[in-house]
A and B are shown apart, each in its own frame.
Chain A
Amino acid sequence: MAMPNGPQGERENYLNKEYGVGSWLLTTDHKRIALLYLMSITFFFFIGGFFALLIRLELLTPAGDLVQADTYNKLFTMHGMVMVFFFLIPSIPAVLGNFLVPMMIGAKDLAFPRINLLSWYLYIIGGVMMLHCMLTGGVDTGWTFYTPYSTAFTNTKIVEAGLAIFVAGFSSILTGLNFVVTIHRMRAPGMTWSRLPLFIWAHYATSIIQLLGTPVVAITIVLVAAERTLHLGIFDPKLGGDPLLFQHLFWFYSHPAVYIMILPSMGIVSEIIACFSRKRIFGYNFVALSSIAIAVFGFLVWAHHLFVAGISIYAAFVFSLLSYAVAVPSAVKTFNWTATLYKGSIRYDAPMLYAFGFIGLFMMGGLTGLFLSALGIDVHVTDTYFVVAHFHYIMVGGAVMGYLGGMHFWWPKISGRLYPEGWARLAALIVFIGFHLTFFPQFVLGYLGMPRRYYDYSHMPEFQVLNVLSTAGATILGVGYLLPMIYFLWSMRYGKPAPDNPWNAAGLEWKSASPPPTFNFDVEPVVTWEAYNYEELDAPHPQEAPVVR
């Protein structure tokens, strides 16, 4: 089964070790599973993107002329569900995390390789259910499933969509479980907690949210499904139930879920910033612990989604205050990244451009979050495009920028090929411009009072200019997202073979071959150096510098 050498006499690696569909579908190699995830989430990303495109096209003109009102409701619902549960939540952890967590800590695989494969299959089962749900009518409640509309009124496929998300949620829990146990138990000798890359710290924090948050939304969705099918009364106001309780339980997960999306991105940015400014990250301990702090604080703020829903004003006050607290660890990270840049030897390669883009977009997304956690302003902008712009700055601007930056940074390691640098820089620029053009006008629209989830704004035609700008931006953004996919695929065949460490980066994953062998390292690594030892690497006679071929 194992061949000593691949074709053309290449050395054996995880890609050429075995061929055939079976060797992929039954693999327990974390790197192959990462690629399975990469293909699946890209598929769902383009489905979700297609819905976004239709939404933006509808809003090009004030009149509701492209789709019916019901169709529009389904479009934004399915856009949200697909993007949140089938792209953003698994994106970085399941692809880059899966590939890199074992490599960065010097392990041969994740602690539970078969559970890792199971988690991909659960994701696929959930995804197929979601596709079936879409093709047979879809859901129109918004991705939030708010009761009592979802339990008592809508005739759309709530139960099926709920089950799809339930199954995908278990996939996410199993990924988190694998990461936590792997980080605790599988570190190479010498890889102490204070030597862990910040990418690992970020994934540890993310995994804790996945483990402790996801089950709450899972049981909540079960209750909604039970209420619809078995006529149980949990959230039903007719029986004296409280729909607000649903919102509490839903947001207990779904607010921390935002940190599932953004924390891994922050981990990637820490790696990239350190590498391309050739410096140890400023304030390593603070950046590492701020990941944990974000994960913990993230669980304390959920009710800021309920400020105008009728919760107690005293509780609202407390939640508002706690929401401000999340800004502290987020600011710690941002300031430390900028401090790392100070007096660094900065190189503007494509991953670094994405990292810069991340910092800018995350700052705007985060700071507008402070507007929203202020009780008074929140009343004014709740359910307007201001909110839509805010969370897209975090979830698309932040999370996807980090994801793309990471994909470029580690693509040579993953594929063994170099991507075309010029095209990549151009794409990074297009994404950045396209993103701002899409979502900045939405801040203005929201502040002027345009509500979200309206397909027809013909009674306020003055909003059309900003909407046209937004749609134009979305088109540019779409091109920006297509470009990397095209040149990544191109590079797999025509790209120059990548050296083991093309960026001369610190980190164990770069000490392995590109692409790595099945068990990651030919010799089990022993770590004797601190993380981000760039000063040492760049010293005239580097002791630990890996050989660049």
Chain B
Amino acid sequence: MSEHGTSIGFYVMIFLILLVLTGVTVSAAFINLGPLNPILALGIATTKALLVVLFFMHVKGASEKLVKLVVLSAVFFLLILLGLTLSDYATRLWS
């Protein structure tokens, strides 16, 4: 576990970045970017989630790859669920 060396200042910095990103995503929602709106919102959300997972949950400093593998497999199967279900709805000839 490598977080013994991580300073409190670093955690506070991550926290501040997360707050700024929250501000950015709220303001961006009021600007008309067309189809980019949801993409931007999800992009920012994913960035925030990554910051939390990598630094607050210490996946970045994890000594073995196993934890990363668990996270990736969860995301992979979630995307399978969303993606393959969407593939049906996106290509229906009726409805």
Contact = CB atoms under 8 A, between A and B. Distances in A.
Are chains A and B touching in the complex at the 8 Å CB cutoff?
yes
Given A184-B66, A313-B93, A248 B88 contact: yes
A216 B82 CA distance: 12
Given A212-B74, A248-B85, A315-B87, A300 B80 contact: yes
A299 B85 contact: no
Contact of B84 (A244, A300, A313): A300
Contacts of B46: none
Contact of A216 (B81, B93, B94): B81
Contacts of A299: 77, 80
B91 A312 contact: yes
A245 B85 CA distance: 8
Nearest to B78: A212
Nearest to A253: B81
A479 interface: no
Contacts of B66: 184
Determine the interface band of chain B, counting residues with CB < 8 A from chain A.
Answer: 10 to 19
B29 to A, nearest CB: 25
Contacts of B88: 244, 248, 303, 306, 311-312, 315
Contacts of A245: 85
Contacts of B47: none
A208 B93 CA distance: 35
Contacts, number: 42
Contacts of A310: 94
A311 B88 CA distance: 6
B73 A303 contact: no
A413 to B, nearest CB: 31
Contacts of B74: 212
A349 B92 CA distance: 54
B92 A312 contact: yes
B89 interface: yes
B46 to A, nearest CB: 20
A36 B89 CA distance: 45
Interface of A is mostly: helix
A212 B73 contact: yes
Contacts of A208: 73
Contacts of A379: none
A252 interface: yes
A314 interface: yes
A354 to B, nearest CB: 33
Contacts of B85: 245, 248-249, 252
Nearest to B74: A212
A310 B92 CA distance: 9
Given A216-B81, A300-B84, A318-B87, A311 B92 contact: yes
Contacts of A313: 91, 93
Contacts of B90: 312
B87 A212 contact: no
Interface in A303-331: 303, 306, 310-315, 318-319
A312 B93 contact: yes
A214 to B, nearest CB: 12
A312 B77 contact: no
A185 to B, nearest CB: 10
Interface in A269-322: 299-300, 302-303, 306, 310-315, 318-319
B80 A312 contact: no
B92 A303 contact: no
Interface in A237-272: 244-245, 248-249, 252
A318 B66 CA distance: 32
Q: Which among B73, B80, B85 has the highest number of chain A CB atoms within 10 Å? A: B85
Contact of B77 (A212, A248, A318): A212
A311 B89 CA distance: 8
Nearest to A245: B85
Given A252-B81, A313-B91, A314-B91, 15 more contacts: A208-B73, A212-B73, A244-B88, A245-B85, A248-B85, A249-B85, A252-B85, A300-B84, A311-B92, A312-B89, A312-B93, A313-B93, A314-B87, A315-B87, A319-B84
| Among all A-B residue pairs, the 7 with the closest Cβ atoms | A315-B88, A312-B91, A314-B91, A312-B92, A311-B88, A212-B77, A248-B85
8 contacts: A184-B66, A212-B77, A245-B85, A252-B81, A299-B80, A300-B84, A312-B92, A315-B92
